Amino acid sequence: MDSPVLVPYRSFIQVDRGSSTPVYLQVAHQLINAIQRGYLMDGHKLPGSRLLAKLLGLHRNTVVASYAELDAQGWVETRPSQGVFVRNGKREKPMKLAYGGGGVLASYPRQTGFQFKRWNVLDNPFDRSTAKFSLDDGLPDHRLSHVGYLSRLLHTNMRRKGNQAKLGYHNTMGSEYYKENLANFLNLTRGLHISRKNILATRSQELSIYLVTETLISPGDRVVVGELSYFATNMILQKAGANILTVPIDDEGIDVVAIRRLCEHQPFRMLYITPHHHYPTTVTLSARRRVELLELSAKYGFVILEDDYDYDFHYDGSPLLPMASADTGGMVVYVGTFGKSMAPGFRSGFIVAPDRLIAEMDKLLGIMDRHGDTLTESALGEMIADGEIHRYLKKSIQAYRVRRDCLGQVLASKLGHCVDFTLPNGGLAIWTQWPVTLNLMQLQKQCLEHDLYLPRYLLYQSHNYCGIRFGFGSMAPEELSDAIQVIAEATDAIS
């Protein structure tokens, strides 16, 4: 047995007097660590309270309190006239304690002692930067959000006695009130013919796509996407083991001739499409191609996953109705986001599908997110019921139209000599095409030196194309002008 004095207690008991944890608990916890890790063995005699206090530079009463805590938890045994002895520790040869070095027992393992899956396909594409300006792929401006109104709704819902039961562990069905109102909203604005049984409410668009993919896609299934497509969906499909096939995109949207050719020679399980404004190019799928895709789906039996990520943002004329509104064969699964124009915490993803498929996906959601966000859903339901969502969208769309026009004018005046773009009729982003000789990574680096950050997920470069997706929703007109000025100067610098 080691002598208490020979054990280097100061090497593993480090007291932080600035911590909110009492000193006696800090000492007790670090002694427990030493026992659990095999540095202090079963039966080891700890120093007397006076001696340990002297070694650690503490008051004796602090050490007495630490020993009392260890005794209460069963880690030591106090024997009258003999001292304090470790119990419930390891009985084999003790681990070797190094003198000096300090804090070795306070560290957490840097890696596991076992193997695990590495989701390389799910590496986070979102970077962070401290630059003054940071562009995105088309996010709304939280400064225009209806936060005050929604906060009042949340406060009201929390105080209602009838809603308090919804906070319990047995509430697993989500807000039926919200789904009822959301169904009415989608029927009115999208030309759908659904009831609440056809809706599954989720916390995000990406979670909706994940639920659909996990339910409908098996490893090895072929899934068709645009040659340029939403990166998060591609990640989800790859994680599910899908074999992703790509087809070209032109000014009318996804190439239906190429899809027909695949149907004949490489049958596939699903087509993922963003027809309202294709991601990232923002082109709208033509009415003719929509009809052709529905006919091909019915004939060849592939699922159409229609992602309606920004349907509410439309500036010129009336938008084309979703393909789901014309689906009579139950071949379209429709996903979207309600409240995208508001602060992120108030948004809700949704899935629209035949009720039997909704019931199966609800089983998976029940395991992943059993309780959902009932209070927020109730508040959103009231926002629909009293018509406030329509008034708010009308006001916010006016602001975003001004920002779209501003970005278009600034691009034309400062970069018109090297950038091609078409002003989109909706959405929160503009797709720009650049000379293929331009190195976008050099452009990113040059912009960052002038306090403007271009995230890499906005940059699309290969031997055949060079494009940047500019989101305008989250920046005021003067901010957009400043950002494009930086890009123009950076372009000249690297050219």
Query: The domain spanning residue 13 has which CATH number?
Result: 1.10.10.10
Question: Is residue 125 included in any domain, yes or no?
Answer: no
Residue 345 has pLDDT above 60, yes or no: yes
Q: Which residues are 471's β-sheet partners?
A: 429
Write down the pLDDT at residue 346. Answer: 75
Residue 164 has pLDDT above 80, yes or no: no
Q: The domain spanning residue 451 has which CATH number?
A: 3.90.1150.10
Write down the pLDDT at residue 342. Answer: 76
Claim to verify: residue 280 and residue 158 sit in the same structural domain: yes
- Arithmetic mean of pLDDT, 408-413: 97
Claim to verify: residue 311 and residue 348 sit in the same structural domain: yes
Claim to verify: residue 282 and residue 353 sit in the same structural domain: yes
Claim to verify: residue 381 and residue 422 sit in the same structural domain: no
Claim to verify: residue 267 and residue 363 sit in the same structural domain: yes
Question: Is residue 116 included in any domain, yes or no?
Answer: no
Q: What is the model's pTM?
A: 0.84
* Residue finishing a domain among 386, 412, 441: 386
Question: Is residue 81 included in any domain, yes or no?
Answer: yes
* Residue finishing a domain among 365, 386, 407: 386
CA distance 139 to 472: 8
**Confidence band for 156, pLDDT divided at 50, 70 and 90:** confident
Claim to verify: residue 52 and residue 153 sit in the same structural domain: no
Claim to verify: residue 304 and residue 186 sit in the same structural domain: yes
Write down the pLDDT at residue 101. Answer: 47
Question: Is residue 56 included in any domain, yes or no?
Answer: yes
Q: Which range of residues forms the domain containing residue 236?
A: 145-386
Claim to verify: residue 41 and residue 169 sit in the same structural domain: no
Claim to verify: residue 433 and residue 347 sit in the same structural domain: no
CA distance 407 to 421: 11
Claim to verify: residue 260 and residue 337 sit in the same structural domain: yes
CA distance 263 to 273: 16
Question: Is residue 455 included in any domain, yes or no?
Answer: yes
Write down the pLDDT at residue 347. Answer: 81
**Confidence band for 288, pLDDT divided at 50, 70 and 90:** very high
Strand bridging mode 332-338 / 348-352: antiparallel
CA distance 21 to 69: 14
Q: The domain spanning residue 172 has which CATH number?
A: 3.40.640.10
* Residue finishing a domain among 359, 386, 413: 386
**Confidence band for 392, pLDDT divided at 50, 70 and 90:** confident
In the chain the first and final C-alpha atoms are separated, in Å, by 75
CA distance 17 to 20: 8
Claim to verify: residue 175 and residue 302 sit in the same structural domain: yes
Question: Is residue 2 included in any domain, yes or no?
Answer: no
Does residue 430 sit in helix, strand or coil? Answer: strand
Claim to verify: residue 337 and residue 406 sit in the same structural domain: no
CA distance 427 to 472: 9
Write down the pLDDT at residue 172. Answer: 46
Distance of CA 155 to the CA centre of its chain: 26
Question: Is residue 3 included in any domain, yes or no?
Answer: no
CB 357 within 8 A of CB 157: no
Question: Is residue 113 included in any domain, yes or no?
Answer: no
Q: How many domains does the chain have?
A: 3
